[in-house]
Amino acid sequence: MKKTKLLNTLSISIVCCMLPVLNNYSMPLEMSKEEMIRYTPEWEGERFPDGRPKVPDDIIQRMKLVNIEEAWSVLRNEGYEFQYERGWKMVHPGAVLVGRALTVTYMPLRKVENEVTNDIGKADGRIGNQVSWPIDMLVKGDVYVADVYNREIGGPIIGGNLANSIFAKSGNGVLVNGEVRDLEQMEALDGFNAYVRNWNPDYYRASMIMGINVPTNIGNVVVFPGDVILGKREGVIVIPPHLAEKVVKTAEVIRLRDGFGFERLKAGVYSPGQIDGRWSDEIEKDFSGWLRDHMDELSVPKEQIQELLKERTW
């Protein structure tokens, strides 16, 4: 009898200890600010209220001139090997897509789990259908990044109405690992671009959201909230926030050196072997003089050129 009472007492104690855990347990629909900070430890700059890294607007603007190869080289050298994904269709082919990622993960619809997600959304005060929830969270400069696992039937999460709302809130475009609808309506949105897998006249009816502002996939690349998205004709490259400035500055130096080299090659001043190989002190001095003479004409900010000249010994 004593043994039974002891077991019952232990069982009640264990259940009581678990109650706070059970009461706090729910699907991780959204990363907390603390989790966001924990997963981006190398970022030391400003953050959004939700904890997402906020790469400065100046860096985002300058990123538009960075090419995919320049960005890839920096990331590869820093140990980030899986940051590039190709095979996209665009609303405005050739238009650049740059901004900070707000991520969404969709999964195939399951009735009960979808109802649970809706209950969580309702408790959180979210309005409307699931597809509108992340759009309500967008701020200027965001890129709406969604993994819809390349769903073909019943999967388009964005059409004309939502594209207009996204553009109004973010002033930017979308990156969708899936299909969307209403191409002609999106084409009428000047400044809006979408990188998607394909077009589809169907409507949203076969997916459900399982995470907002959580790590998500766009094919072979993981996107974290706050990553910088750079989309160009070749494809999309995803840049961790703490490397965004390095990517921009490195690309600017490469652009300046290429501009100088192309000009001198066309003029016949140097041979291809001289420009394509390691530059001599004479060429380095010529390059410094060229920077001073063309400072106001180049695509790189004047202040950055002045900083570069300060660091040079030629």
pLDDT tens-place string over residues 259-314: 999 999 999 999 999 999 999 999 999 999 999 999 999 988 999 899 888 887 77
Q: What is the pLDDT of residue 28?
A: 56
Mean pLDDT of 225-231: 98
How much is the pLDDT for 29? 84
* In the chain, % of residues over pLDDT 90: 83
pLDDT tens by residue, 101-133: 999 999 999 999 999 999 999 999 999 999 999
Query: Is pTM beyond 0.85 here?
Result: yes
220 touches 31 (CB < 8 A): no
- The domains found in the chain, sorted by start residue, are 86-239 (3.50.30.40), 244-311 (no CATH)
Measured distance CA(289)–CA(128) in Å, rounded = 60
Say if CB 142 and CB 100 are below 8 A apart: yes
Stretch among 28-37, 49-58, 165-174, 187-196 having the lowest mean pLDDT:
28-37
For residue 236, CA distances in Å to 22, 182, 187, 220 come to 41, 22, 20, 11
Q: Which amino acid is at 180?
A: V
- For 27, 31, 43, 143, 308, the CA distances from 210, given in Å and listed in that order, are 8, 12, 26, 19, 46
> Within 10 A of 123 (CB to CB), how many other CB atoms are there?
9
The whole-number pLDDT of residue 153 equals: 86
200 has pLDDT over 60 = yes
pLDDT at 19 over 70: no
- 3-state secondary structure string, 18-30? HHHHHHHCCCCCE
Helix (H) or strand (E) holding 115: helix 111-123
The pLDDT mean for the chain works out to: 90
Structural contact between residues 194 and 180, judged by C-beta atoms closer than 8 angstroms:
yes
